[in-house]
Structure formats: C-alpha cells, structure tokens
A and B are shown apart, each in its own frame.
Chain A
Amino acid sequence: MSKAMSMDFLRPMTWAEALAAKAADPEARPILGGTDVMVELNFDRSRPSALLDLTAIPELAEWELRDGVVRLGAGVPYSRIITELGDLLPGLAIASRTVGSPQIRNRATVGGNLGSASPAGDAHPALLAAGAEVEVESVRGVRIIAVDEFFLGPKRSALQPGELIRAIGIPVTGGPQQFSKIGTRNAMVIAVCSFGIALHPAQRRVGTGIGSAAPTPLRAHAAEEFLGAELDWDGPLDRAVANRFGELVAAAASPIDDVRGTAAYRRHALSVLARRTLTWSWEEYRCV
C-alpha cells in the first residue's frame, strides 16, 4: 500500500501526550469506544490523517463528585454510568440504557457522543436538561463550554483545532429526571426523536433537551420558561400545564422528513414524550 493511503495510529499514554499529539496534527481523529468512528471509517465516510486512541489514558475513564457536580471523564462507558451513576445522574443513566446494545454500551462513551456531535446522540438531551458543561483542553489551556453552546450544527461542535474533550461536568440536582426516546424497534435503534427533562427543585426550574428533531440537540427555552412561570411546585401537576408544555417542546423543534420518520411525526411524538416525562417526573417529585 502506498504511503499516501496510510493512516497513523497514535496511542498516547498520558493526557499531556494526547494534547501534544493533537496539537501536532489537528486533523487526528480522537477515538474512544470507536462505535461512531469505526463505522465512519468502515463506510469510507471519513479518512482522517491519524487515529488518536485515548483509551490508554487512565483519568479519562474516571469520574468524581465534587461540590455537587459530577466530573465525568470523557472515556467512561455507558455501562458504568448505568451501574455507578444511576442515583447521582438519573437522567443520563436512563439515556445510557437506551444506547445501542450491551456490547456497544460497554465501549461507547459520553465524550465520544459529544465529539461526534450528532443531533441524535442519546446523551445530549440529558446533558442539556441537567445543565452540563463540557471541559475541553488543548496545549493552549482549558475551556469550559456550556453544553447548550457546544452544538453548532449537524456533527459540528464548538471544539477548536487542537482541543480534546477531557470531561463533562454535570450538576447533581437531586430532583427527578427522565429521558425518553422514539425508535422504530424496541432496542438498538437510533432516535427518531428524544427528550430529556430535569427538575431543579432548588431553583424551581425545569431543564429540557430535545434530540433528533433539529440540526443540533437543543433546549426548549419557551417550554422551560412556561413551566418556570406556571408550575405550582407545591401542588399536583395541572393537566393543562403538561399539555401546553408538550406543545411548546414540539414547537421548539425544527425536524425534517428522513428515512427514520417524518417531521410531523417527530413534532407529535415530542409533545407526547414531553408531557409523559414531565408527568413521571412530577409524580416522583411529589412522592419524595
């Protein structure tokens, strides 16, 4: 095989080496579980100059809880989020259960999900609802990007050349969280659309996240503001409020028709998911 066709494989053993490698070759493609990257390579959809394998860096596969925030290493696989973080990050844990198959959940990571920046990424709505922040780093230093400013377009993120995702900071709200997704089979499916919700009782605020129904994952701002104004935090959930919340979530989306579903169906399904997840969250909140 000629040299022009070759692809370097870089395997830094430390985070500093990884940042140096990325600085030396900004086109190098970071790879963790490989559940997105390898599909792209196998389908010949992208051809990076190098693969930057980050799986040897121990701290990426760790998480810690400090000052009410979980700092989740970019390389923690979904299967560990399910088993280790179900209490602290319930929304993300529910979303993690919907990712691929058990084999994929053993490999795939939130860092990789963010790196791919797909509108359909299963982690994104939960991160948006929880108000997470993405910690990125390059040889120039560390930047913290609010997750709702991280997604710029389909598969485009706010990562600058040379930057790698180090960790995700996710506040522990203590409030109920939910995540729901639509797929046309009952497991192992990419979202037709998805929705995440997080109650922030201390702030009397509700966070939202919409997936697969716009060029990027996004928050339903008007729906959040509506709940902020209309929710009676000391009473039962008013059915009319839940219905209106669903409508506002649907209105926040800008879905398209594609092989996975129609725009009209996505809007409709989002309104149902929003109403149902709010109802489930409220039942849990009222029971606590």
Chain B
Amino acid sequence: MTDIQVTSPVRDGVGASAPRPDGTLKVTGEFAYASDLWMDGMLHGATLRSPHPRARILSVDLTGALKLPGVEAVLTHEDVPGAKLYGVDHADQPVLAIDQVRYQGEPIAVVAADHPETARRACALIRVVYEVLEPLTDPRRAALDPSYEKVHAGGNVVRHQPIRVGSVFEADVVVTGEYEVGMQDQAFLGPESGLAVPAEDGGVDLYVATQWLHVDQDQIAPCLGLPPEKVRLTLAGVGGAFGAREDLSMQIHACLLALHTGKPVRIVYGREESFFGHVHRHPALMRYEHGATRDGRLVYVKGEIILDGGAYASSTPAVVGNAASLGVGPYSVPNISLDAYGVYTNNPPCGAMRGFGAVQACFGYESQLDRLAEACGLDPVEVRIRNAISEGSRIATGQIVDMPAPLTSMLEQVRDLPLPEGVSTDLRDLPGGVANSTHGEGIVRGVGYGIGIKNICYSEGFDDFSTARVRLEVIGEEAAVLVHTAAAEVGQGLVTLKAQIARTELGVPNVTIAPADTQVGSAGSSSASRQSYVTGGAVKTACEAVRERLLELAAKKLSHDGLALSGGKIVSVSGIVVASVAEVLGDDVIEETREYRHRATAPMDQLTGQGDAHTQFAFCVHRAVVDVDVELGLVKVVELAAVQDVGKILNPIALEGQIHGGTAQGLGLALMEEIQVAGGLIRNPSFTDYLIPTILDMPPMRLEILENPDPHAPYGLRGAGEPPTLSSTPAIVAAVRAATGKSLMRIPVRPEHITGT
C-alpha cells in the first residue's frame, strides 16, 4: 500500500506557496505572542541579576523586598525543591546562583508581585554583598593554558575535538591567517516570555515561547522535584528564535514562583534583560594554514578554532563538533590537523545560533581560500572549483558525501549571473544611506564569493526523532484532518508545511494543526534546519499510516479490492471514483501516531575526529557585490546572489524567506552585529547599539534554487534555514576586501578597520 501515489494535484499541498496562517496576524500586529499571555489574578515575575561577571556571594538579604506591599514571593536557590542545576547538554547552570556568579546577568533571586513594576522594585531592594573577583575572559588561555584559573572545578575546556587526517604538511604554496569572529546575537524580536499556571494535581502548566518543548520539560521537572508528566508545556506565540530559545531562560523561575504562590505567574523580559537572558553565538579565534600546489590544489590544512562558550556549557560541545567536522569547509583535503576547542570563561554564555559552529569556521576557511587564490594567481571561484567536494567525496571526518553535492556547477552558476549595473545616485543606494555622507565620492566596488557546508539535523549519534499524530474523521459531512506535533513554530513556517504535507498525503483539503504541546511525543528541536526533514517526515509517515487504514476500511466497507486514494477520493484500479473519503469514514475515526528517525549517525573519534557524524549536508553559495566608501569605511551591499540546493522545494515563498533571512543574518555578522564585551561586561545591550540590518542595508537578492533530491530524506528535501547564514558573511567580507585592499581579519568589519584610523 505504501507505494500508492496521489496523482491529482491538491490545492496548497507540498510544492505550493501555501499562505501562512500566522502571516496576516503578524503583519497587522494581531498575533498573540508569549508576552501577550494574560490570566486574571496572575502575578508578574522579575529577576535579580548579577552586575558582576565573577564574584562570590557573601550574603543575600531579602528583607526589604519581602516587606514591599504587593510582593508575594522572593525566592533564591534555597527555594529550589529539586535539582539545583540544569543545562541543555549537561547540567552545570544553577537555577539561581549558589554562593557565586560566573557571568554578568546571572540570576540570583526571583520575585513575584501583583505588578511588574512592583516586582522590579522588589528586586532592587534585595541586598546582595559580593566579593568581586577578576573575571576570566581570555578564551585562548582558557583553552591552552593549564595554569589559568578555573571557571568551573572540572577545568576550562568544555570540549576539545581534534581532526587528524594524513601526514603531509608541506606544500609549495602556503597561506596563513588569524581570524576573529565577534559575538553575534540572535536578536529575536519577541523577548523571553511565558506564563506558568499551578495545577490542582500539584503540577504546573507552562505556556512558553521556546524551540523544543520536551527538552524544556526534561530540564524543568527535576528542578521542581516533579515527575515530567506533572510539568505540561504548551507552545505560546514565538517571536523568533534562531537558537536563542534552545536554552531555558524564565521557564523554571516562573514555575517555581507559580508553585510557591499558588497563582499564575507571568515573566516577560525587557529588551535589555533579553540580552542577558539568552545565549549568544560563540565568538571565535581562529588560526589557519593552508598548503597547496602551485595550481591551487589543497595539500593540507592546519587549523585551530577556539570558541568562547562563556560561563556555562549550553550547547558548546555540539558547536565544537560542527566547527571541527566542518572546519575545512566543502573541500577535499588529503591532510588535516585541526583542533577545535570550546571553553568556559566569565564572558556571557554562548550556545546555539543559526549555523552553529559552522558559521565561524566558514569565515575562516573561505577567507583562506581567497588568500590561496591570490597566492596562486587564480580567480577565487576557480580555486574553489579545483578543491570542491562532490558526491562520493569525503569530508574532514572521513564521511562520504552520499547525496548530490553539485558545488562546481553552483559556483559556476553564481559566477555567471549578470552583475548589477553601475553606481546609483539615490542616497538610499549609497554607502551611508540617507545619512548623506557621500554623493559618490570615495566609492569603490568589490565582488566576493563564499560557499559553506552545513550539517542538517542532529549529529554525532544523537537519537534524533520527531512524533506526529494524525487524525482523520468527518466533521460537518467533510473529511477533516488534525495534525498534532510538539514541534515549535518559531516563525520558520512549519505550521504551514505540516498542513501541506497532510493535504498531499491524504488529499484532504481541510487540515487543522493542533497547538504544539507535550501531550504528544517529542518533535525534537526547531534547530539544525531539521524540522521539515524530521517533523515533516513524521507527519508524512503518520499520514501514510492513516491512508493505509483508510484503504483497509474502504476495502471492507465497499467490498472492493485494489482501491487507492487519489485526489481525495477512493478510486478503483482503473481510476474510477468509488467513494469519497467522508463516505468511507462515516462515523469512524482513524488516528495514527508515528515516530520518524533519520538514519543513525556516529560519534566522532575523540583523537582523530573520524566518523560518519552527520545525516545530511547542505550547501549554499553567495556572490556579494558591495560599494565601499573607502574614505569613510562605510559599506553598501549592492546585491547578494545565492545558489542553494534544497533537494525539493516544499513551499517556494517560505523557502525564499529562509534564504533571504539567513543571508541577512550573515550580512549582519559581516558588517554590524556584535555584542561588545569588555572585562566580561556587555557594553551595548540595546537595539540602539546592537545593530541589525535594515531594508536599506539588505539588498535585493538573486536566487537560484536547485532541486537535486537527497535519496535519504523525505521528498528528497534538504534543510534550508542555515546554509545561507554561513556563506553570505565571507562573501561580503571578500567583496569589501576586493574594494579596499584591506586584510580585514575580524568580523564584524567596522568603518575604522577600513579607514585605518
């Protein structure tokens, strides 16, 4: 039965630009985000945070806060009934600080009060006496100097992953470079928010904006001293994620306060607090040495990548795994000696962000390829083509790329796209934009290229699966489908896609998506560009199971063999419509729940980094055209062209949005987005000084989207959200280098790096 194909096209099925159910609401400001949650009688939570990146806590005096009228609870670590530590990868982070703080902004106490202002005032009345210590902020020392003081007793290296391949580290042409990536923030627009409601069974119901309900549940329940089934989560409206919601923020705090007071408690972070309330992208220090033949063929790569994880582990181990395994990029390299480190410091904690370790490495290896091109007198596209992997090649881990990898043709395609016309005279098209800093003076154009490789889905042996429950029944004489998963819609469009898959598989136009909650099995994280693949796969599989039962039911009720489902009708072998789905169903309800797993992955060898660690690889190539005002160091990105292979286009308009958005985030990292940290302190925790690209910074894009199916994936699809974030950054920086002749070893590039002043 599983080989039955749905032949008639179904409206808004897979491949259509089905409209998003949340689209109009979001554009008109009517969408209910987690920060809009409200219950009569609810209390408001606030968090007291450390102003110091490293200090001992000598005493905490709650008296003033407790006396303030309107305050109903003031809690410290002593009030945490269960486990005191939590963590997405390993539990090293206190729910509330215990005797010491390790980063600026670490939560020390939480307050619930009848008004958010009262809660904040109460926090200000808590007296904490600190013994301030010199923060440990040097990631290189943390990685390599055993005499450096320890942030945690177990040592400062969270993970060191070597890659060792081959033994020839001599070549005719050698290029070296030391690169630095600043700390990027996910800068989602909807701050951390949620509402915890105490339940009669002694448990708690939490409505929260997150990326993975079940991993939150797994971390919250032990800290509350409750079994997981008494901590029920429902996804609230998520205003962007990009990795920043993989770690817990206010979840345990709100639940603690709700259980303590017996009242619903809402916590909504402000914008400034949000910068302290979630992990950021790991800043990186990278050293690369590339050896090649005179005609530009790579002989070896030596590399060192140091990723500053800050005060707590978060997802640093997995980020290190990506940086190491993808550290030489999508190139065939016969000899590799590369070491990736993730370390503890007293800098802000860093964890997941779109691209996840592959972004930092991509800036390093792509900058190196440009240096190699120059050293060999080659065109930057040509040097990439000479070294690019293809289907059947091995990556640095020894894993064979057993899916299409048409990098050569992608590079040729992006190179051969027409270039944009000459310099405009409209201020909005010039460096500096409407700030009116040039009328054409000082402008030099540059072109640059970047290509990246990203692993899709969770890697390194992780049991990565999703669960879907699909129900088919007759409602109001029409067949109707209900799809229930715990997958987080974080803006990527998964809600739309799940319905498209159900329509295609069952031919039933009327599909409802149930709210995501923990009443159904885990869907895994909305991370690693994996939800179309894994939850999409689960919905598809569950639909197939429903379809099978429907046809069994039809065979029984109609006493007819060889039936099939086509265009939403039950048809005979000869294609004649025998019955409608609703007629077959009658009062019967078909419900099937299925788990979907992608093929298993293996850990990387601890000493050599070898192993089939990844499920799928995805590729994007960018060409950037920039105009630089070389006197002022200001940049206008004139055009970004991208070629990306997505295997199968499931929703064209949503896919384009992902590529545009990922590209824009890469532009931000190239030119402006940085949390500036000095002495462990964040200097720019606001959107006044943490700049993200505006429409005058993000240029029009030329997209070429390829569909070379991955035989291992549902519909042949490839995860699409992350790859453009990798390659746009090095492409833009290469273009700025081409315009200015500057080496630009650090991102984001600042005007003074270009002017040399």
Contacts and interface: CB of A to CB of B under 8 A. Distances in A.
12 contacts: A2-B68, A42-B271, A180-B437, A182-B435, A186-B434, A186-B435, A186-B696, A191-B435, A262-B752, A269-B633, A273-B437, A273-B632
A44 B123 CA distance: 13
A155 interface: no
B117 to A, nearest CB: 6
Nearest to A283: B439
A192 interface: yes
A26 interface: no
Interface string A32-54: 00000001001110000000000
A182 B117 contact: no
B439 A280 contact: yes
Contact of B272 (A43, A182, A269): A43
Contacts of B695: 187
Contacts of B437: 180-182, 273, 276
B750 interface: yes
B631 A272 contact: yes
Given A2-B70, A262-B757, A276-B441, A182 B751 contact: yes
B55 interface: no
Contact of B632 (A189, A262, A272): A272
Contacts of A5: 117-118, 121
B433 A259 contact: no
Name the interface size band of chain B. Answer: 35 or more
Contacts of A269: 632-633, 751, 755, 757
A2 B69 CA distance: 7
B683 interface: yes
A186 B752 contact: no
A260 B436 CA distance: 18
Contacts of A272: 442, 631-632
Contacts of B750: 184, 261
A5 B271 CA distance: 22
Contacts of A182: 432, 435, 437, 632, 634, 751
A264 B671 CA distance: 20
Nearest to A265: B752
Nearest to B270: A42
Contacts of B114: 1
A66 interface: no
Contacts of A192: 751
A168 interface: no
Contacts of B428: 186
A79 interface: no
A282 interface: no
B115 A1 contact: yes
B293 interface: no
Residues of A in contact with B, size category: 35 or more
B755 A268 contact: yes
B694 A265 contact: no
Contact of B676 (A188, A259, A264, A268): A259
A173 interface: no
Majority SS at the chain B contact face: loop
Contact of A180 (B435, B636, B757): B435
A181 to B, nearest CB: 4
Contacts of B632: 182, 269, 272-273
A98 B752 CA distance: 21
Contact of A187 (B68, B431, B694): B694
B684 A259 contact: yes
B623 interface: no
A192 B751 CA distance: 10
B751 A98 contact: no
A183 B435 contact: yes
B743 interface: no
A181 B434 CA distance: 9
Given A1-B118, A5-B118, A182-B435, A189 B752 contact: no
A184 B672 contact: yes
Contacts of A267: 757
Nearest to B427: A97
Interface in B261-295: 270-272
B93 interface: no
Contacts of A227: none
Given A182-B634, A184-B671, 20 more contacts: A1-B114, A5-B117, A5-B118, A5-B121, A42-B270, A43-B272, A44-B120, A97-B434, A180-B437, A182-B437, A183-B432, A185-B671, A185-B691, A185-B693, A186-B428, A186-B696, A194-B435, A262-B752, A264-B757, A265-B752
Contacts of A268: 755, 757
A256 B270 CA distance: 29
B134 interface: no
A208 interface: no
B667 to A, nearest CB: 10
B688 interface: yes
Contacts of B439: 276, 280
Contacts of A265: 633, 751-752, 755, 757
A181 B689 CA distance: 16
Contacts of A180: 432, 435-437
A134 interface: no
A1 B433 CA distance: 46
Contacts of A185: 433, 671-672, 691, 693-694, 696-697
A190 interface: yes
Interface string A107-122: 0000000000000000
Nearest to A7: B117
A191 B696 CA distance: 16
Interface string B669-710: 001100010000001101011010111110000000000000
Contact of A98 (B434, B671, B683): B434
A178 interface: yes
Interface in B30-58: none
Contact of A43 (B431, B686, B691, B696): B686
A267 B632 CA distance: 11
Interface centre among B437, B684, B695 (most CB of A within 10 A): B437
Contacts of B387: none
Contacts of A78: none
Interface in B625-644: 631-634, 636
A188 to B, nearest CB: 5
| Top 8 A-B pairs, shortest CB-CB distance | A186-B433, A268-B757, A265-B752, A186-B696, A187-B696, A181-B435, A187-B694, A259-B684
